[in-house]
Amino acid sequence: MTSLINNSNSNSSLINTINSSQSKFNPNIYSTKAIYPASATTYVKTQKASGSFGANQTMVFDLMKYGIAQQILLCYTKKGGTDTKIGDFDVMDVIDRVELLSSSKVIDTLTSNDLICQFSDLDQSQYNIVDKSCLATRNVRADGAHQFVVPLRFGLLSDVNTQLNLQFNEPMSIRVRWGANPKQVSAGTAVTISDDDIFLKMRYKAYNESDFSEILAENYNEPELNQMSVGFYDENSVTQKLTATQDNQLVVMPLTSPGAKVELKNTDCVNNFYVIVRRQGVPTTGNYIPVQINRLRMSASGQEIFDLDGVELYYSKLCKNGFSILTTTGGSAIVNIAKIQTGLWEYAGSGTQSNTLSLRELNNPIIEVWFQDTVASSGSANAQSYDVTVVEEAVKVYATTSSTGRLTVALTN
């Protein structure tokens, strides 16, 4: 039976062409795949080194000079009463920004907007963890304690090849700036957050002496080690005021009207543009939940670069196989974050640097945004203001000085 198939294939011009190609690969020819050296992996709890929790306050965590950092988790607990409820996306109210420092100099930053835009790029299985640990609504608990775990995935942590070599680098630290209303709740008794309930959980990987010596010899045999990675840049938010209709309180920016215009001032090489629209106002009204974007348009030098509306926006995350990815179908507002890709979507945001766009030489680059929202109010129509923010994921080149271990940003464009 098999000879019948093979004989038929042997008379196929297409199959003969494929078999003579240099790309042909026989998977049953045994070859040993790449093997990583064995290492010790451990999670370590890191308490604050300085600062305190509070509105617009900062807190600093010193990272141990030990091994290679693979994962950084920011953990905190909100303690309230038995009737305390905490709404969706509360983490955006608690955290203003998180900074990665090398020798007290900032080399990378994740704002609350950056964090949410990162999460919008995850596939369903990875998003489930983030949603459960730091985004989803927290209903009442008998003990009133609500634990939050926020993954701090700086650009250098997105690839095993660029993870932080804390054993070699100069002393590094994490600085957290808390938001303006970090103790807000959606209902019930107010919460408290103790400094003792805030800490980092770090995953470290440590090699034996011979393997680590090989790392030093290969990576730092030149005056500098240069590594390409990514980082975020937030354009200045634009405020758009809209008026709700008296009947159903539906706030809409019609597609026939001019969109909210965000001028792009950054000059870096950008891989991805994210757009997030949020209500202004007190957190209990749900202003940190992204609202629905109906249309997105990008133009520069008088030419249109991108224009998708409605369900078309779901297809903006193009994959290598020609299809697109949607983060979640579970009703989360994370799907309301729109994205403009210059390249192809990579699994979990890591992999090949497929494309980028240099903003330096573009004349007057602008992103226009149309959106809608349902406002739960009664009586006459009310005006509602919104923040329209463009978040850019840009390419960076980091340099580590071999003689001192100092890590700096060497090039952004």
- The number of helix segments (H) and strand segments (E) in the chain equals 6, 22
Do 205 and 104 fall within a single domain? yes
Count the domains in the chain: 2
Tokens 């192809």 appear where?
A: 344
Query: What is the per-residue pLDDT for 96?
Result: 95
Do 281 and 379 fall within a single domain? yes
Residue 107 lies in domain = 39-223
Give all strands (DSSP E) within 208-309, no chain letters: 224-234, 238-243, 250-252, 260-263, 269-279, 292-300, 303-309
Residue 71 located in a structural domain: yes
Residue 405 located in a structural domain: no
List phi, psi (to 5°) of 268. Answer: -75, 175
Do 197 and 177 fall within a single domain? yes
List the one residue out of 262, 260, 269 whose CA is nearest residue 385.
260
Last residue of a domain, one of 176, 197, 223: 223
The answer to whether the CB of 58 falls within 8 A of the CB of 51 is yes
Residue 357 located in a structural domain: yes
Task: State how far the Cα of 83 lies from the Cα of 145, in Å rounded to an integer.
Answer: 11
374: CB partners within 8 A, 6+ apart: 248, 249, 250, 251
Residue 384 located in a structural domain: yes
Query: What is the per-residue pLDDT for 340?
Result: 95
Do 49 and 81 fall within a single domain? yes
Do 143 and 190 fall within a single domain? yes
Residue 14 located in a structural domain: no
Give all strands (DSSP E) within 47-129, no chain letters: 50-51, 58-62, 68-79, 95-102, 105-111
Exposed, middle or buried by CB within 10 Å (0-12, 13-18, 19+), for 400? buried
Do 207 and 259 fall within a single domain? no
pLDDT digits (tens, 9 = 90+) for 191-243: 999 999 999 999 999 999 999 999 999 999 999 999 999 999 999 999 998 87
Print pLDDT tens along the chain (413 aa).
678 888 898 889 998 998 899 999 888 888 888 889 999 999 999 999 999 999 999 999 999 999 999 999 999 999 999 999 998 899 998 999 999 999 889 999 999 999 999 999 888 888 999 999 999 999 999 898 999 999 999 999 988 889 999 999 999 999 999 998 888 888 889 999 999 999 999 999 999 999 999 999 999 999 999 999 999 999 999 999 887 765 556 788 888 888 999 999 999 999 999 999 998 876 555 667 899 999 999 999 889 999 999 999 989 998 888 888 887 766 788 999 999 999 888 765 456 788 899 998 899 999 999 999 877 554 445 678 899 999 999 999 999 999 999 999 988 87
311: CB partners within 8 A, 6+ apart: none
DSSP-derived letter for residue 197 is G
> What pTM was computed for the model?
0.92
Query: What is the per-residue pLDDT for 135?
Result: 92
Do 243 and 182 fall within a single domain? no
Residue 13 located in a structural domain: no
Q: What angle do CA 58, 61, 67 make, to 5 degrees?
A: 155
Residue 52 located in a structural domain: yes
Do 210 and 241 fall within a single domain? no
Do 290 and 316 fall within a single domain? yes
Last residue of a domain, one of 182, 202, 223: 223
Residue 108 is part of a domain; what is its CATH number? 2.70.9.10
Do 147 and 216 fall within a single domain? yes
Residue 80 located in a structural domain: yes
Query: What is the per-residue pLDDT for 56?
Result: 93
Element (H, E) at 178: strand 172-178
Do 267 and 190 fall within a single domain? no
Do 292 and 318 fall within a single domain? yes
Task: State how far the Cα of 36 lies from the Cα of 39, in Å rounded to an integer.
Answer: 9
Query: What is the per-residue pLDDT for 379?
Result: 47
Query: What is the per-residue pLDDT for 387?
Result: 93
